[in-house]
Chains A and B, each alone.
Chain A
Amino acid sequence: NAGVTQTPKFQVLKTGQSMTLQCAQDMNHEYMSWYRQDPGMGLRLIHYSVGAGITDQGEVPNGYNVSRSTTEDFPLRLLSAAPSQTSVYFCASRSGGTHAEAFFGQGTRLTVV
């Protein structure tokens, strides 16, 4: 059981480039989320989805797009990368039910130069 899989693990982008961070889960979880982790800031929610076709903004959505066409996949797109988006990105999923815990992927370390 792979759980939550993120690719790539590391990425370096030039300012203005675009890319997609991939996230896939094999637990048939309804809820999926993207967080960014910056030193001294904890994790901050970027976007989340409560099911296929349904997405919403989190705390820091600017500069990021998401879509959820299937239950399994929740890609995060950076349309025009900026140095401020240098961070470690985590994808998480959890089952339906108010109190279920979230399972996190291994993270993607992104550097924008």
Chain B
Amino acid sequence: ELKVEQNPLFLSMQEGKNYTIYCNYSTTSDRLYWYRQDPGKSLESLFVLLSNGAVKQEGRLMASLDTKARLSTLHITAAVHDLSATYFCAVGGRGGSEKLVFGKGMKLTVNP
């Protein structure tokens, strides 16, 4: 059974600081997604990671994937208040299974 764990689940950080959050999954997968959710809103796609060593960057966020370790990281550089949100990773089963499993999400608060 595929399980996805995120840590930390809550993070409060100062503007300008850097931090890395982690997403571990339990079984082999061929794709991993990162989503952002603002309070009371829907989910917004951030990154799709498909292969070992994949690295993608968008603004102050950079995501990477290590399929051998079953680990993805989301690195925040020089945080700003607008990054405050909940971040989810989601992992798809092997062979393109539609059964996407989400982590519990990490609530990020960036303080001025």
B65 in contact (CB, < 8 A): no
B41 in contact (CB, < 8 A): yes
B32 (CB) vs chain A CBs: closest residue: A99
Task: Mark B47-73 against chain A: 1 for CB-CB distance below 8 A, else 0.
Answer: 010100000000000000000000000
Q: Which residues of B contact A41 (CB under 8 A)?
A: 104
Q: Which residues of B contact A64 (CB under 8 A)?
A: none
Which residues of B come within 8 Å of A, CB atoms?
A: 4, 9, 30-31, 33, 41-43, 45, 48, 50, 88, 90, 92, 95-96, 98-105
**B48 pairs with A99, CB closer than 8 A:** yes
Among the 9-residue stretches A19-27, A65-73, A102-110, the one with 4 or more Cβ atoms under 8 Å from chain B is A102-110
17 A-B pairs besides A40-B104, A42-B88, A92-B43 with CB distance below 8 A are A35-B102, A40-B9, A41-B104, A42-B102, A43-B90, A56-B98, A58-B99, A59-B99, A90-B43, A99-B30, A99-B31, A99-B50, A101-B33, A102-B45, A102-B100, A104-B43, A106-B41
A74 in contact (CB, < 8 A): no
A96 (CB) vs chain B CBs: closest residue: B96
State the CA gap A101–B16 with chains docked (Å): 30
- Residue from A40, A56, A98 within 8 A of B96 (CB atoms): A98
Number of A-B contacts (CB under 8 A): 55
B46 (CB) vs chain A CBs: closest residue: A101
Q: Which residues of A contact B30 (CB under 8 A)?
A: 98-99
Q: Which residues of A contact B88 (CB under 8 A)?
A: 42-43
List the 5 shortest-distance A-B pairs measured between CB atoms, nearest first. A98-B96, A42-B102, A43-B102, A42-B104, A104-B43
- Residue from A90, A101, A103, A106 within 8 A of B48 (CB atoms): A101
- Residue from A42, A45, A92 within 8 A of B103 (CB atoms): A42
Q: Which residues of A contact B99 (CB under 8 A)?
A: 45, 48, 58-59
Q: Distance (Å) between the CB of B42 and the closest chain A CB?
A: 5
Q: Which residues of B contact A105 (CB under 8 A)?
A: 42
Q: Which residues of A contact B48 (CB under 8 A)?
A: 99, 101
Q: Which residues of A contact B45 (CB under 8 A)?
A: 101-103
